[in-house]
Amino acid sequence: MIPAPNNNMPDALVSHVPGFVGAARNHCDSNEQLVDWPTLFERQCELTPAQTAIVFEDESVTYDELNQLSNRIAHYLLDSEVVPEQRIGICLDRSIAAIAAMFGILKAGAAFVPLDPEFPADRLEYMIDDADISHVICDETYKSILPSSVSIVTPGEDKWSRDIANPDISIAPDQLAYIMYTSGSTGRPKGVQIEHRALAAYSYADASEYELQSTDRTLQFSTLNFDIAIEEIYPPLLTGSTVVVRPRNRSDAQNELSDIVEKFDVTAIHLATAYWHEWVDLMRATGARVPESIRLMVVTGEKVSTEHFRRWLTLCDHEVQWFNAYGPTEATVTSTIFKPSADWQGDNMPIGKPLKRYTAHILDAELKPVGKDQTGELFIGGPGLARGYLNRPDLTEKAFVRWNSPTGEVTIYKTGDLARWLPNGDIEFAGRIDHQIKLGSYRIEPGEIEAALNQHPATLESLITFDSIDGKKFLIAYVAHGDNDVTVDELFGHLKENLPAYMVPVRYLLLESFPKTINGKIDRKALPSPASSVVAGAGNYVAPRTELEKELAEIWTEVLNVPQVGIHDDFFSLGGSSLLVTRVITRLSSQLNQEIPVRDFFANPTVASIARHIGRLNQSDQASTDDEHEISRAIRATLPRIQPQFFQSGDASLFGVHYAPVKNKTSHAVVICPSYGHEYARAHRNLQQLGVQLARQGCDVLRFDYAGTGNSTGDEQTSTTDDWIGNIRDATSFTRELTDCERISVIGIRLGATLLSNCDNLNVDLRIYWDPVCHGKQYCEWLEDIHNNTLRNLTRFPVTRKASATPQAFGFELPKSRKQNLSNLKLAEPGFGCKTALLSSEGYERAEFAGQPGNGWTHQWHVVDTRDAIYWHEPTYTERAFSSPESFEAICCLVGESQ
């Protein structure tokens, strides 16, 4: 029998730990001595060691296993001389390892800082710099986006310490636990510092209020970069219950969330309000019911639509505890909750009463409590308050104010939200004091977007606000540009380069100057209506042609809240998100009686393509030839110009294909050096696709064939590695002249990388060696092995074949002189004064690399490990073409960084 931990929750928070470091500092005004979070978790592990703690896809771990893994990570960090409160970045997707990493960091006395891989590089760099992060625990996929200044650790069994015991260190309750970055009005995000006691106080209050039980299974749905993730992970794991991590791959089911809930018997869900609205609509549209397993539903982040709450009630066939939660990050996730009764009626959903140990105060401008029915500013107090903003004492002082309460002076957090007391003691939210915008799960300071807009040379002044239709908010950018010429697309592109996607407005109003009040401030009331705004990308508008396209465009227009949608406009470029995809699918189902999986929508992101897809699904595709042409032309417009040509290198004419960007051209060119022999053909398609992708990113790209290979002229048998090294040099010069680009990157794959490593005086900005061949001699021997095995093993030939008089290796002549020449080739030590990256795919024999002379070079390279399976040496795959999305992403990032 597993005890119900919430029975003794109040006491559990009070420290019984010897050596506890005295009273909490800063904002903790309680006399209670609260314990650190790891202590609470370890207590729980002792109570329920064999209970399942986390389920992720087909994997699961018990409390004991999770604790041991966290301990191993903690010991690893302690062995790495991590000191108390040292900030460790985490750049991880949802997984068991990610949760263990967070716990390991806490157990080592350090503090974790979530780093969202979707953020632009300079924003991540700022956060890393601001938080003074020296180590980042990072998924392989995201390594390439992090600056080289940080030490990167990828989760892996072999990495962590073998020591599974709880670390014997003392963690003070007021020690820093994590830093969560939120939007900042000055143009830079600000780091909210949460201490252990705040995390512990919040976790216990949450578990207690929601009556979490050991039988609960809470869904971990959010990315780890929001504090909803804290809510989903920390309180449940103090109660012996199970956290179910959302699977990596998108479900094919029309209602993905219900599918996950049913598949994993989820009992508790915490959702951002906007997402919950979508889920309710989707269930309603598809005739689905609230899954039977759910007993707790917590909605948080934005104002709840009472209409959706009523819809929810009609969808429930069983009793579900439903809560509206409210809380700023500065007060650790949630501060107040409201649980409406079954017969609750009202126009505004209250935000309820404070959690246990939290306090709430509604004060006027002089910090005096307002009367009943009067509106004032909401302040939050209690042990859940943050320490303050990292490196921002000025902001901390403004937001965390000292206040004379009836019981003495305490610190309270100024939320910036307006509120009023209801007669029954509940709080009702009444809007914002400032212009801060809450968009989905994100809290956005308009000033941060304005600061980025103002950096554009054409901008004189800017102002960010929002428009709202049917409860859905959209950012609107007003830009005063005087006589400067600028287009909406230019501003949109500028912001996309500098801000996370969720902060980039899609709608713009360009004005010569702003109307001003008598005090010289922007007169907001005199600004033109958002309805006259222009959508980024509207210059390419193509009107719908068929009834289906018209209906689809109407749905998109309403869902995206844009004035118009052209049939070739990309849903995601118009501000669409996965959340809005759900809404479109709901509408398709209810309005058009057309059910399509989310995955199909992602594959067809324009009105034209989804209309064609639907037509084909219904076998009623009546697309005319003209339609087909238009769609093909639209697709072609997104692809680069191809220019195949020959250029001279020594005595040979080398064949090269130049991919020229059709738009967003940068001053960066990339040269791609292929491999040799059968690997040339194996990698051809993949390198071609890489070229196209880089060109779409704005780079000029040249792929070429060495002398005597591919389409190039030159003697196939006598061309030497020196000739080929010269070919790389000439291809680079040719690219420089052809494109007039200032910056050049060169990518070599396999033998191409080895040749590139031996190519000095290239004067390029970046070299990428992708799975380089380290020893020419071993490479030749391996080629001969494959060849000889093929002759004998009756898989390729109908009869066994004997080695012929023609020296050859798997399809190509390999005379003695060439073999000798190739055998002498070795991967050369880096040292050309430019950034050099080693890209290593799954199945690449890194051991071979490590065995190179000058062992230990890897410290000189920027190493990017990917999970792309290529398996160069695996006989089964010797001729198999491959795809390598992670490598592409890493290459695009590396090239992008060096622009």
| Site for another protein, residues 877 to 896, rule: CB under 8 A | 877, 880-885
Residue 443 and residue 18: Cα distance in Å, rounded? 40
Of 829-868, binders to another protein (CB under 8 A) are 842, 868
Closest approach of Cβ 735 to another protein, in Å? 9
Binding string, residues 575-614; x marks residues near another protein by CB under 8 A: ----------------------------------x-----
What mask of x and - would describe binding to another protein in positions 735 to 754, judged by CB under 8 A? Answer: --x-----------------
Which of 539, 644, 831, 854 is in the footprint of another protein by CB under 8 A? Answer: 644
- Reduced DSSP (H G I as helix, E B as strand, rest coil) percent helix, strand, coil of the chain, to 5: 35, 25, 40
The C-alpha atoms of residue 828 and residue 830 are separated, in whole angstroms, by 6
660 has which bridge partners? 641
Residue 651 contacts another protein per CB under 8 A: yes
Min dist CB 733 to another protein, Å, is 5
Site size toward another protein (CB under 8 A) is 72
φ and ψ of 103, to 5 deg = -65, -40
Q: Which CB sits closer to another protein, 577 or 653?
A: 653
| Candidates 81-89, 297-305, 381-389, 636-644; binding stretch for another protein (CB under 8 A) | 636-644
Judged on CB neighbours under 10 Å (0-12, 13-18, 19+), 561 is: buried
Among 599, 629, 663, 831, binds another protein (CB under 8 A): 629
Q: Which stretch binds another protein (CB under 8 A): 172-180, 383-391, 490-498, 720-728?
A: 720-728
The yes or no reply on residue 655 touching another protein (CB under 8 A) is yes
Interface with another protein (CB under 8 A), residue from 710, 781, 832, 846: 710
Q: Which of residues 168-187 bind another protein (CB under 8 A)?
A: none
Shortest distance (Å) from residue 896 CB to another protein: 23
Query: What is the DSSP code string of 701-741?
Result: EEEE--TTSTT--S-TTT--HHHHHHHHHHHHHHHHHHH--
Shortest Cβ 552–another protein spacing (Å) = 17
Q: Is 824 in the site for another protein (CB under 8 A)?
A: no
Measure the CA–CA gap between 210 and 534, rounded to whole angstroms.
45
Q: Across 225-358, where does the E strand assignment appear?
A: 242-245, 268-272, 296-300, 321-326, 336-338, 353-354
Rounded Cα–Cα distance for residues 709 and 466 (Å): 58
> Among residues 571, 676, 734, 779, which is the contact residue for another protein, using CB under 8 A?
734
Binder among 252, 628, 742, 829 for another protein (CB under 8 A): 628
Binding of another protein by 432 (CB under 8 A) = no
| Tokens 């956060």, located at residue | 127
- Choice from 6, 239, 582, 709 touching another protein (CB under 8 A): 709
Instruction: Please report, as residue ranges, which positions from 550 to 579 form the binding site for another protein (by CB under 8 A).
Output: none
Report the nearest approach of another protein to the CB of residue 562 (Å): 25
Q: Does 317 bind another protein (CB under 8 A)?
A: no
- State the Cα torsion 137-141-146-152 to the nearest 10°: 30
**Which residues lie below 8 Å from residue 668, measured CB to CB, with a gap of 6+?**
698, 699, 700, 741, 742, 743, 744, 745, 765, 895, 898, 899
Interaction pattern, residues 781-800, with another protein; x per rule: CB under 8 A? ---------x--xx-xxxx-
Q: Is 642 in the site for another protein (CB under 8 A)?
A: yes
Nearest of 769, 758, 761 to residue 721 by alpha carbon: 758
- Choose the binding region for another protein from 220-228, 512-520, 594-602, 729-737 (rule: CB under 8 A): 729-737
CA distance 64 to 44: 10
Least distance to another protein, CB of residue 631, Å: 6
For the packed helices 63-79 and 37-47, what is the interaxial angle rounded to 10 degrees?
Answer: 140
- 354 in Cβ contact with 380 (< 8 Å): yes
Shortest reach from residue 636's CB to another protein, in Å: 4
Closer residue to another protein, CB minimum distance, 377 or 889: 889
Q: Which is nearer to another protein, 49 or 247 (CB)?
A: 247
Kindly report each contact of residues 388-392 with a partner whose C-beta sits within 8 Å and lies 24 or more positions away, as own/partner.
388/26, 388/27, 388/193, 389/190, 389/191, 389/192, 389/193, 390/130, 390/131, 390/179, 390/190, 390/191, 390/192, 390/193, 391/130, 391/191, 392/190
Ranges within 352-381 binding another protein (CB under 8 A): none
Q: Helix, strand or coil for residue 90?
A: strand
Judged by CB under 8 A, the stretch of 95-103, 350-358, 432-440, 640-648 that binds another protein is 640-648
Could you tell me the smallest distance in angstroms from the CB atom of residue 435 to another protein?
A: 44
- Applying CB under 8 A, among 416, 471, 869, 873 the residue interacting with another protein is 869
State how far Cα 412 lies from the chain centre: 33
Closest approach, Cβ 725 to another protein, in A, equals 5
The residue (of 144 and 649) whose beta carbon lies closer to another protein is: 649
Is residue 450 part of the contact set for another protein (CB under 8 A)? no
- Furthest-apart CA pair in the chain: how many Å? 102
**Nearest-5° angle of CA 32, CA 33, CA 34?**
100
Segment 678 to 697, residues that bind another protein, using CB under 8 A: 678, 681, 684-685, 688, 692
Minimum CB distance to another protein smaller for 479 or for 652: 652
Taking each helix axis from N to C end, the angle separating 488-498 and 446-454, rounded to the nearest 10 degrees, works out to 110
**Cβ neighbours of residue 207 closer than 8 Å, sequence gap 6 or more:** 5, 6, 9, 235, 236, 238, 239
Q: Which is nearer to another protein, 543 or 881 (CB)?
A: 881
Using CB under 8 A as the binding rule, whether residue 512 contacts another protein is answered as no
* Residue 154: alpha-carbon gap to chain centroid: 16
Q: What number of other Cβ atoms are within 10 A of residue 83's Cβ? A: 10
**Residue 152 phi, psi dihedral angles, 5° rounding:** -100, 130
Site mask for another protein (CB under 8 A), range 798-817, x = bound? xx-x--x-x-x-xxxx----
